[in-house]
Chain A
Amino acid sequence: MKERLKVLKTYKQFIGGEFPRSESGRTYVLLDPRQRPIANVCLSSRKDFREAVVRARAAFDGWSARSGYLRGQILYRLAELVEDRRELFIRELRQQGATVAAARRETEQTIDLLIHYAGWGDKYPQLFSTVNPVASPHFVFSVPEPVGVVALIAPQGGALLGLVSALGPILIGGNACVAIASEKQPLSSITFAEVCAAGDVPPGVVAILTGHRRELLPHVAGHMDVDAVVYGGDDREEWKTIQSEASRNVKRAIRPAADSRTLYRIMDTQEVKTIWHPVGF
Chain B
Amino acid sequence: MSTTTTAKPAELPPWAYAPAPESTDPGIRARYDLFVNGEFVPAANGGYRTLVDPASERPLCEVAEGGAADIDRAVKAARRAYANVWSRMPALERGKYVFRIARLLQERAREFAVAESRNGGKPIRESRDTDVPLACAHFFHYAGWADKLDVAFPGMRARPLGVCGQVIPWNFPLLMAAWKLAPALVTGNTCVLKTAETTPVTALKLAEILQTAGLPPGVVNIVPGGRETGRALVEHRGVDKIAFTGSTAVGKWIMKALAGTGRKYTLELGGKAANIVFEDAAIDQAVEGIVNAIFFNQGHVCCAGSRLLVQESVAATLIQKLRRRMGSLIVGDPLDKNTDVGAINSKEQLEKIEKYLAIGVDEGAELWQSDGALPAKGYYCRPTLFTNVSQSHRIAQEEIFGPVLAIQTFRTAEEAVAKANNTPYGLSGGVWTDKGAKIHKVARQIRAGVIWANTFNKFDPSSPFGGYKESGMGREGGWHGLMPYVQLETA
> A-side interface residues toward B, CB under 8 Å?
127, 130, 132-136, 138, 140, 142, 145, 147-148, 227, 236-237, 239-244, 246-250, 252, 257, 259-261, 263-264, 271-278
Contacts and interface: CB of A to CB of B under 8 A. Distances in A.
- Interface on chain A toward B: helix, strand, loop, or mixed SS? mixed
Given A239-B260, A248-B252, A250-B255, A275 B451 contact: yes
Contacts of A236: 260
B194 interface: no
Interface in B150-184: 154-156
- For the complex of A and B, the 3 pairs showing the least CB-CB separation, nearest first, are A240-B260, A247-B255, A243-B259
B260 A247 contact: no
Nearest to B462: A132
Interface size band for B: 35 or more
B452 interface: yes
Nearest to A264: B488
A271 B156 contact: no
B450 interface: yes
Given A249-B470, A273-B450, 12 more contacts: A132-B463, A134-B462, A135-B137, A145-B444, A241-B259, A243-B255, A247-B259, A250-B251, A272-B449, A272-B466, A275-B450, A278-B455
13 contacts: A130-B480, A132-B463, A133-B462, A138-B458, A142-B463, A142-B480, A243-B258, A244-B255, A250-B267, A259-B490, A260-B490, A261-B155, A274-B463
Contacts of B453: 275-277
Contacts of A243: 255, 258-260
A130 B473 contact: no
The majority secondary structure among interface residues of chain B is mixed
B455 A274 contact: no
A258 B480 CA distance: 22
Contacts of B251: 250
A273 B269 contact: no
B463 A261 contact: no
Given A249-B424, A250-B248, A134 B460 contact: yes
Interface in B435-481: 439, 443-444, 447-455, 458, 460, 462-466, 468-473, 475, 478-480
Contacts of B253: 247
Nearest to B457: A276
B489 interface: yes
A247 B489 contact: no
Contacts of B269: 250
* Interface core residue of A132, A237, A261, A276 (most chain B CB under 10 Å): A276
A246 B255 contact: yes
B377 interface: no
A135 B255 contact: no
Nearest to B481: A272
A164 to B, nearest CB: 21
Contacts of B267: 250
A241 B255 CA distance: 11
A78 B448 CA distance: 32
A271 B449 contact: yes
Contacts of B479: 130
Contacts of B488: 257, 260, 264
Contacts of A132: 460, 462-464, 478
A81 B318 CA distance: 57
Interface in B107-148: 137
Interface string B234-267: 0000000000000010011101101110000001
Contacts of A227: 469
